[in-house]
Amino acid sequence: MTADTTILGHPASEAAGAPPHPLREFWSYFSANPGAVAGLALILALILLALCAGIVAPHSPIVTHDDAFLRPPFWEEGGSLTYPLGTDSIGRDMLSRLIYGARLSLLIGVVVVILALVAGIILGLVAGFFEGVVGIAIMRLMDVFLTLPSLLLAIVIVAILGPGLANAMIAVAIVQLPNYVRLTRAAVISELAKDYVTASKVSGAGTLRLMFATVLPNCLAPLIVQASLGFSSAILDAAALGFLGLGAQPPQPEWGTMLADSRELMLRAWWAVTFPGLMILVTVLAFNLLGDGLRDAFDPKLKR
């Protein structure tokens, strides 16, 4: 162990032979992956941007400017620094909408992942602990969800609930649910066979305590990786719903909805189409990089 950490550029400060703190060990693997660090930096920058949107954005994201329809970005003929990335067809500042869009997209990611994670963990624990009828019923239901293409299932749920940002988030969370349920159940079943669980049972722990205090903490690693990757697909799917007109509704500055708004103007105003999509790409890319890095850092097979 000590040898490992030294090789990775972290002088072992611990007493010889003592294993490094798990977090420190984790960070040494994670930081050895430049892509993952870049992803993390991008995400931190996006979070900062979203938090300071009110200070950074030059204009309001929904106020229209009657004197400035479809202004190009400042480096093009006719553009000005008042609207650095131009304006859309009804005179709203692109840059401000993009900045406030970061708030919405991160919010979507957080809400969707938390919803899917909490429901998935509970269902997965139940399916793992009660392998009889209840477990089978839960897993079969998840199989049905997995049979449908993800966007199609989301569309069906939105069709039932009605279009809108909140319903789109619920729909995307349900779409992601099976991943978490399956991961949790698989981890629970392999943990249940171990001695520490038996010991805990023998000393009289109840089912709920076994579920949440004994077994769950040992199932978290794959769930964290999945949550990070789930962030990117949540943002992507919610943007796709917005693009189809089923997600966030105008005038909300959601990137997918912005793309749908400016689709007809594509040939006249390239900037109105290019920038929102670029933001989606960069955000999704950052979360994918982070997820890959987390997976490698958690994977014991790669720690040789």
Partner 1 sequence: MLRFVLTRVSLIIPTFIGLTLLTFILVRLIPGDPIEAMAGEHGLDPARHAQLLHEYGMDRPVLVQYAFYIERVLHGDLGISAVTHAPVIQEFSTLWPATIELSTCAMLFAILVGMPAGIIAAVKRNSIFDHGVMALSLGGYSMPIFWWGLLAILLFSSLLGWTPVSGRIDVQYYIEPTTGFLLIDSWNSDDPGAFWSALSHLVLPMIVLGTQPLATIARMTRSAMLEVLGEDYIRTARAKGVPPRRVVGLHALRNALIPVVTVIGLQVGSIFTGAILTETIFSWPGVGKWLVEGIFRRDYPVLQGGVLLLGIMVMTVNLTVDLLYGVINPRIRHAR
Q: How far is the CB of 155 from partner 1 (least distance, A)?
A: 6
CB count in 10 Å sphere of residue 187: 21
Cα separation, 141 vs 181, whole angstroms = 11
Cα separation, 90 vs 104, whole angstroms = 21
Quickly count helices (H) and strands (E) in the chain: 13, 0
Which x/- pattern, by CB under 8 A, does the window 156-185 give for partner 1? x-xxx-------------------------
Please, which residue, 58 or 149, has the CB nearer to partner 1? Answer: 149
In angstroms, the Cα distances linking 44 to 50, 63, 77, 220 are: 10, 28, 34, 23
Interface of this chain with partner 1, residues 138 to 157, rule: CB under 8 A: 140-141, 143-144, 146-152, 155-156
Interface of this chain with partner 1, residues 252 to 291, rule: CB under 8 A: 256, 259, 263, 266-267, 270, 273-274, 276-277, 280-281, 284-285, 288-289
How many positions of this chain bind partner 1 (CB under 8 A)? 41
Which x/- pattern, by CB under 8 A, does the window 17-36 give for partner 1? ------------------x-
Evaluate the CA torsion angle 182, 186, 192, 197 in order and state its sign: negative
- Six-digit token string for 262: 């400016």
In angstroms, the Cα distances linking 99 to 91, 105, 129, 174, 203 are: 16, 10, 45, 28, 54
Please, which residue, 173 or 240, has the CB nearer to partner 1? Answer: 240
By the criterion CB under 8 A, which residues form the site for partner 1?
A: 35, 140-141, 143-144, 146-152, 155-156, 158-160, 232, 236, 239-240, 243-246, 256, 259, 263, 266-267, 270, 273-274, 276-277, 280-281, 284-285, 288-289
